[in-house]
């Protein structure tokens, strides 16, 4: 920490040299490995349940006798499984490892992180079960009931404190831009989630103010967690893989602060012409359009890196994932701004196109980047090769194809749906039938995502099992060998 008297000195409190990558990986092994394992499991679950939910859009009779599989329950379950199961845990796992690596300090608090991960998963499971059993709160992205959210907060605090501790113990002079984004995301999420839950669900404001709070929260989560983490991970992976320095620290800082200043003001534009006063939606429009500028800054920053070492980046799956993810993120920013233009939004509002836009951010931008980062760090953290390394490229193809297919199908279907809705002479039933084929394509896309999730999950599980066997088997053999002296169990 810097002393108050010398605020400009580089904050090197610990004169010790940075820890070696091998030490850091070893310190991350169990906590980050557990988070990766859980995150990949939730990715698979979100893919399967998401596919099931999308099927319900075009085959509503499926499983109709089961209340828990009705669209209005399974859709929020799939959404929350992705956001809180994969999004939060993958984000936390990546943040823990990257913060340790970039700070040059070993990870501390592993017991707390493991406990926190177990707590988080327990809270998420009871919460999702409650949503499926009719306990959802009815506010999008805030569906989990109160008791589950409180468990989630405990889990989050147990995990998220440690990357910040590591950050404070950093042994490198300059803070790398990725760390700004991680710190910002780690601070933003609890604030957003607590304020969103309090004002929209626990102690709801009056009337449409609940919707305003929910819109603020959702958009804040999109930018403050998924956006910040996508950029942070991409800004690490691309220079790291290519060995090329990030070309401008100033531009990175400029982009960071622009995103922080403009990004959180969006959200209300979801209620164009709805029951929110005009100024709220107008603010949402302006913020969303201005959020394009941090995107441009990040694009300018990353373009030279990708340009000069395209071959090196594309030779590593994580590099391909990161490029595709960051590309999706920039595309999301641009499309979200275009969606604010009044002729466009009149068509897209309330349609599949909005779903496509959200999908592009969650599964496209964050999903691809985070999956790439998982593949990048899993073998290093777990300490051995992933057993099915050949599948990684297949997962990349599946995941990018799925995102493209989903976004294009829902985008086109949404435009058709919107054009139909805007034509009052077209019977509503015809409008509905018009987008059904596109929902079918969405099911295909979600199935591809589920298969891809299976590839990641199988790889992580197999690697963890192999590593655990390697750690346990010699000890067990020693124990089970008749007459052998009992050795201390090594951790």
Q: Which of residues 204-243 bind other proteins (CB under 8 A)?
A: 204-213, 215-216, 220, 224, 235-236, 239-243
Q: Which residues, including other chains, have CB under 8 Å from residue 331's CB and lie 6 or more apart? A: 360, 364
Tell me which stretch binds other proteins (CB under 8 A): 86-94, 152-160, 420-428, 480-488: 420-428
Q: Is 34 near other proteins (CB under 8 A)?
A: no
Question: Toward other proteins, which CB reaches closer, 115 or 194?
Answer: 194
In the numeric block, which tokens belong to residue 226? Answer: 């998924």
Q: Are 373 and 96 in contact (CB under 8 A)?
A: no
Q: Are 203 and 132 in contact (CB under 8 A)?
A: no
Q: Which of residues 153-182 bind other proteins (CB under 8 A)?
A: 164, 167-168, 172-177, 180
Other CB atoms within 10 A of residue 483 CB? 4
In the numeric block, which tokens belong to residue 124? Answer: 């998420």
Tell me which stretch binds other proteins (CB under 8 A): 30-38, 51-59, 89-97, 474-482: 51-59
Which of 93, 163, 267, 452 touches other proteins by CB under 8 A? 267
Which of 108, 312, 344, 471 touches other proteins by CB under 8 A? 312
Helix (H, G, I), strand (E, B), or coil: what is residue 206?
coil
Selection from 101, 67, 68 nearest residue 170 by Cα: 101
Binding-site size for other proteins (CB under 8 A) equals 154
Which of 264, 329, 366, 457 touches other proteins by CB under 8 A? 264
Classify residue 198 by burial, with Cβ atoms within 10 Å: 0-12, 13-18, 19+: middle
Helix H or strand E segment including 324: helix 317-338
Round the CA-based radius of gyration of the chain to a whole number and report it: 23
Min dist CB 472 to other proteins, Å, is: 22
Tell me which stretch binds other proteins (CB under 8 A): 28-36, 287-295, 362-370, 466-474: 287-295
Q: Which of residues 315-344 bind other proteins (CB under 8 A)?
A: 315-316, 318, 342
Eight-class DSSP state of 14:
-
Min dist CB 120 to other proteins, Å, is: 22
Q: Which of residues 384-403 bind other proteins (CB under 8 A)?
A: 385-386, 389-390, 392-393
Site string for other proteins, 177-206 (x = CB under 8 A): x--x--xx--xx--xx--x---xxx--xxx
Question: Toward other proteins, which CB reaches closer, 154 or 261?
Answer: 261
Min dist CB 278 to other proteins, Å, is: 4
Other CB atoms within 10 A of residue 427 CB? 11
Min dist CB 149 to other proteins, Å, is: 15
Min dist CB 10 to other proteins, Å, is: 6
Selection from 213, 206, 227 nearest residue 87 by Cα: 227
Which of 83, 355, 403, 409 touches other proteins by CB under 8 A? 355
CA pair distance 450, 462, nearest whole angstrom: 18
Question: Toward other proteins, which CB reaches closer, 112 or 380?
Answer: 380
DSSP 292-305: HHHHHHHHHHHHHH
Q: Which of residues 119-138 bind other proteins (CB under 8 A)?
A: 134-138
Classify residue 171 by burial, with Cβ atoms within 10 Å: 0-12, 13-18, 19+: middle
Question: Toward other proteins, which CB reaches closer, 2 or 477?
Answer: 2
Site string for other proteins, 421-460 (x = CB under 8 A): xxxxx-xxxx-xx--x----------------------x-
CA pair distance 194, 458, nearest whole angstrom: 34
Min dist CB 403 to other proteins, Å, is: 20
Q: Is 248 near other proteins (CB under 8 A)?
A: yes
Selection from 96, 80, 78 nearest residue 24 by Cα: 96
Placement of tokens 């008749």 in the chain? 482
Q: Which residues, including other chains, have CB under 8 Å from residue 265's CB and lie 6 or more apart? A: 283, 284, 286, 287
Min dist CB 87 to other proteins, Å, is: 18
Which of 146, 150, 202, 380 touches other proteins by CB under 8 A? 380
Q: Which of residues 54-93 bind other proteins (CB under 8 A)?
A: 56-58, 60-61, 64-67, 70-73, 75-76
CA pair distance 486, 489, nearest whole angstrom: 9
Question: Toward other proteins, which CB reaches closer, 119 or 431?
Answer: 431
Min dist CB 153 to other proteins, Å, is: 17
- Rounded to the nearest 10 degrees, what angle do helices 428-480 and 368-382 cross at? 0
């Amino acid at each position: 920490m810097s002393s108050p008297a010398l605020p400009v000195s580089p904050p090197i409190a610990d004169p010790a040299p940075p820890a070696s990558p091998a030490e850091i990986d070893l310190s991350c092994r169990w906590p980050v490995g557990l988070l990766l394992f859980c995150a990949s499991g939730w990715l698979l679950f979100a893919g399967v349940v998401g596919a099931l939910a999308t099927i319900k859009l075009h085959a509503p009779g499926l499983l109709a006798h089961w209340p828990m599989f009705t669209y209005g329950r399974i859709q929020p379950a799939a959404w929350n499984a992705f956001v809180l199961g994969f999004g939060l845990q993958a984000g936390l796992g990546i943040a823990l490892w990257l913060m340790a690596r970039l700070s040059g300090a070993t990870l501390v608090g592993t017991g707390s992180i493991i406990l926190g991960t177990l707590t988080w998963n327990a809270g998420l499971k009871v919460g999702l079960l409650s949503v499926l059993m009719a306990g959802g709160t009815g506010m999008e992205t805030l569906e989990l009931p109160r008791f589950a959210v409180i468990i989630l907060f405990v889990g989050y605090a147990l995990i998220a404190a440690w990357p910040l501790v590591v950050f404070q113990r950093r042994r490198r002079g300059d803070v790398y831009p990725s760390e700004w984004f991680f710190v910002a995301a780690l601070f933003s999420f609890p604030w957003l989630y607590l304020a969103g839950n309090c004002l929209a669900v626990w102690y709801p404001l009056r009337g449409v103010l609940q919707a305003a709070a929910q819109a603020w929260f959702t958009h804040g989560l999109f930018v403050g967690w998924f956006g910040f983490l996508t950029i942070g991970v991409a800004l690490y992976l691309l220079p790291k893989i290519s060995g090329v320095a990030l070309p401008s620290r100033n531009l990175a800082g400029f982009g960071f602060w622009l995103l922080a200043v403009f990004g959180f003001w969006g959200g209300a534009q979801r209620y164009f012409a709805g029951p929110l006063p005009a100024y709220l939606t107008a603010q949402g429009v302006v913020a969303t359009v201005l959020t394009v500028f941090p995107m441009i800054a990040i694009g300018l920053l990353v373009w030279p890196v990708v340009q000069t070492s395209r071959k090196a980046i594309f030779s590593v799956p994580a590099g391909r994932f990161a490029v595709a993810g960051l590309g999706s993120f920039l595309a999301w920013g641009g499309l979200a701004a275009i969606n604010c233009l009044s002729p466009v939004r009149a068509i897209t509002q309330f349609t599949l196109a909005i779903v496509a836009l959200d999908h592009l951010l969650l599964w496209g931008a964050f999903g691809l980047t985070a999956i790439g980062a998982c593949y990048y760090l899993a073998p290093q953290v777990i300490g051995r090769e992933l057993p099915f390394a050949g599948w990684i490229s297949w997962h990349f193809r599946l995941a990018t194809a799925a995102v493209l297919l989903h976004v294009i199908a829902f985008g086109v279907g949404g435009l058709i749906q919107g054009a139909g809705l805007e034509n009052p002479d077209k019977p509503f039933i015809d409008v509905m039938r018009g987008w059904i084929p596109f929902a079918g394509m969405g099911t295909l896309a979600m199935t591809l995502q589920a298969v891809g999730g299976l590839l990641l999950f199988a790889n992580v599980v197999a690697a963890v099992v192999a590593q655990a066997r390697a750690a346990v088997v010699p000890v067990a053999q020693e124990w089970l060998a008749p007459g052998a002296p009992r050795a201390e169990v090594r951790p």
